[in-house]
Amino acid sequence: MQPFKAYRIDEVDGKGRGAFIVMDEAQLDPGEVTIRVAYSSVNYKDALAATGAGRIVRRYPCVGGVDLSGYVEKSADPRFSPGDAVLATSFDIGVAHHGGYAEYARLPAGWVVPLPKGMSPLEAMAIGTAGFTAALAIARMELNGLRPDAGPVIVTGATGGVGSLSIDMLTKLGYQVTAITGKESETDYLKRLGATEILPRSSLDLANIRPLGKAIWAGAVDNVGGQLLAWLASTMKNGGTIASIGLAGGASLNTTVMPFILRGVSLLGIDSVNVGEPLRSQLWQRLAGDLRPSRLSEITRRVAFADLPGVFDDLVQARSRGRIVVEIAGERNGASSN
Ligand SMILES: NC(=O)c1ccc[n+]([C@@H]2O[C@H](COP(=O)([O-])OP(=O)(O)OC[C@H]3O[C@@H](n4cnc5c(N)ncnc54)[C@H](OP(=O)(O)O)[C@@H]3O)[C@@H](O)[C@H]2O)c1
């Protein structure tokens, strides 16, 4: 293996800071499966890690990128053979184990998922952690009894990666979706994804949240946290389900027990990082099946590896929309995807 390009995060003055370097195979982390990385993606977490805006990286130095897809180069695990198309997200990838922003990655076999039939490496990264998390949230909400006829589902942080993909998947499943966004200029985009109602965040009075407000939502996918999550709790219908995913608007939660004990509202915590098998592969199969996003080209933009550093600030400042796929080594030298 020739020396290869990587975008590594080092600790500088107590904060993470990313830069391009050249690595060799001996510097890769331990693992059974060596992957030639075709694509990676940019999640909110990746942007916080690379800019040092959040304490995300647990081991320095660390190649960034919590998501990757590509082709097996070599494997000491019999489940994988050279040329197999694979993907990997979460666990320690990109935060405590060299991640997807490098032409090669070496991972424990238990973190590697065979690419579902019919899904390309590019599509896998358009979905990435964001889509996997949306799928996990929907699966858990369904297990908790959510059905399209129960009432509308609301999605916060709607123009973000998780938000956009949640809207796409929920509307495909037949749910009526309301989107909450801080970007009123993106109303048409959210409608194209299938949302029937768009609520500007500025239209909500988050300073005066009653313990129980008008009961509207059967389900809520929350990427924002803070006061918005408190407002959601107070406006859920009887038996409603909230999937708490993110903290883009704050980590605190000031609410009352009223929605939970008087309306039977459920607050489900969603952690996409530590989902083991068989659930991880089952969700990826659903992402290639009934949950397959139908507006991925609308949601996704592609950037060259060299342009990666230029996209992080937009995510941190909430100026970004949808998903960003990073072309690492692309499809060259790759076997055909299944
Ligand atoms: N629990 C898990 O396993 C898991 C997995 C993936 C992501 N997450 C979390 O989920 C959240 C969304 O992730 P993502 O990758 O979709 O991020 P993203 O693409 O950056 O989207 C975040 C969206 O949140 C909204 N937002 C940003 N700053 C805000 C603020 N100060 N107040 C209110 N809303 C704000 C914006 O949407 P609008 O402008 O449309 O409102 C923004 O586009 C993040 O907090 C991320 O850390 C958690």
Domain boundaries, the chain: 4-114+295-327, 130-269
Contact 305, 102 (CB under 8 A): no
CA of 254 to the centre of ligand 1 (A): 19
Ligand 1 site residues (CB inside 6 A) read 43-45, 129-130, 133, 157-163, 181-183, 201, 223-224, 245-249, 270-273, 315, 318, 320
CA of 246 to the centre of ligand 1 (A): 6
Residue closest via CA to ligand 1's atom 11 equals: 246
Q: Lowest mean pLDDT: which of 169-178, 280-289, 323-332? A: 323-332
* Other Cβ atoms within 10 Å of 4 Cβ, number: 19
> Which pair of tokens denotes residue 295?
């507006």
CA of 28 to the centre of ligand 1 (A): 30
Query: Which of 165, 67, 71 is closest to 125 using CA atoms?
Result: 67
Neighbouring C-alpha atoms within 13 Å toward the C-beta of 200: 8
Select from 168, 223, 244 the residue to mutate for testing ligand 1; criterion: most ligand atoms less than 8 Å from CB: 223
Contact 117, 288 (CB under 8 A): yes
Query: Which of 165, 127, 125, 118 is closest to 303 using CA atoms?
Result: 125
DSSP label at residue 2: -
Supply the pLDDT for residue 331: 83
Is residue 268 over pLDDT 60?
yes
Can you tell me which atom of ligand 1 is nearest the CA of 316? 20
Residue closest via CA to ligand 1's atom 36 equals: 157
Distance (Å, whole) CA 140 – CA 75: 33
DSSP assignment of 159-225: TSHHHHHHHHHHHHTT--EEEEES-GGGHHHHHHTT-SEEEEGGGS-TTS--SS----EEEEEESSB
Distance (Å, whole) CA 92 – CA 255: 32
CA of 157 to the centre of ligand 1 (A): 5
Supply the pLDDT for residue 332: 64
Say what angle helices 161-172 and 121-143 make with each other, to 10 degrees.
70
* Other Cβ atoms within 10 Å of 333 Cβ, number: 12
CA of 318 to the centre of ligand 1 (A): 8
CA 150 to chain centre: 26
CA of 166 to the centre of ligand 1 (A): 12
Residue closest via CA to ligand 1's atom 45 equals: 246
pLDDT tens digits along 14-44 = 999 999 999 999 999 999 999 999 999 999 9
Distance (Å, whole) CA 11 – CA 200: 38
DSSP assignment of 140-171: HHHHTT--GGG--EEESSTTSHHHHHHHHHHH
Give percent of the chain with pLDDT exceeding 70.
Answer: 98
4-114+295-327 CATH pick, 3.40.640.10, 3.90.180.10, 1.20.1090.10, 3.40.50.2020: 3.90.180.10
Residues 36, 279, 299, CA angle at the centre, nearest 5°? 60
Residues 267, 96, 163, CA angle at the centre, nearest 5°? 35
Distance (Å, whole) CA 108 – CA 75: 10
130-269 CATH pick, 3.30.70.1230, 3.40.50.720, 3.30.2310.20, 3.50.50.60: 3.40.50.720
Distance (Å, whole) CA 60 – CA 246: 24
- The identity of residue 38, as a single letter, is A
Q: What is the mean pLDDT of the chain?
A: 96
pLDDT tens digits along 201-224 = 999 999 999 999 999 999 999 999
CA 266 to chain centre: 22
Residues 6+ apart with CB under 8 A from 53: 47, 316
Distance (Å, whole) CA 266 – CA 161: 24
Q: Do domains 4-114+295-327 and 130-269 have the same CATH topology?
A: no
Is residue 177 over pLDDT 50?
yes
Can you tell me which atom of ligand 1 is nearest the CA of 272? 3
pLDDT tens digits along 310-331 = 999 999 999 999 999 999 998 8
